């Protein structure tokens, strides 16, 4: 991130920027993971696909 170093004169500022981006990405993954409904697995649906025996 040379443009951050040029703008701030600090080499650590770009590391803080990348760390902040990583934290935001992790938070987005966690929030979206809670919002989006999970796709049920076939095991969770029971034996609906099995042949019925009379």
What is the mean pLDDT for each group of 10 consecutive residues in the chain (54 residues)? 80 91 97 82 65 56
51 in any annotated domain: no
22 in any annotated domain: yes
31 in any annotated domain: yes
The confidence score (pLDDT) of residue 53 equals: 57
Q: Considering its fold, how many domains does the chain have in total?
A: 1
**Count of C-beta atoms within a 10 Å radius of residue 38:** 8
46 in any annotated domain: no
The confidence score (pLDDT) of residue 2 equals: 78
Structural domain for 6, as ranges: 2-40
The confidence score (pLDDT) of residue 23 equals: 98
Q: pLDDT digits over 20-30, tens only?
A: 999 999 999 99
Q: How many CA atoms lie within 13 A of 39 on its CB side?
A: 1
The confidence score (pLDDT) of residue 18 equals: 93
């Amino acid at each position: 991130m040379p443009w951050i170093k040029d703008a701030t004169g600090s080499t650590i500022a770009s590391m803080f920027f990348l760390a902040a981006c990583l934290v935001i990405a992790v938070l987005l993954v966690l929030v979206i993971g809670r919002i989006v409904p999970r796709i049920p697995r076939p095991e969770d649906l029971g034996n609906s696909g099995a042949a019925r025996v009379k």
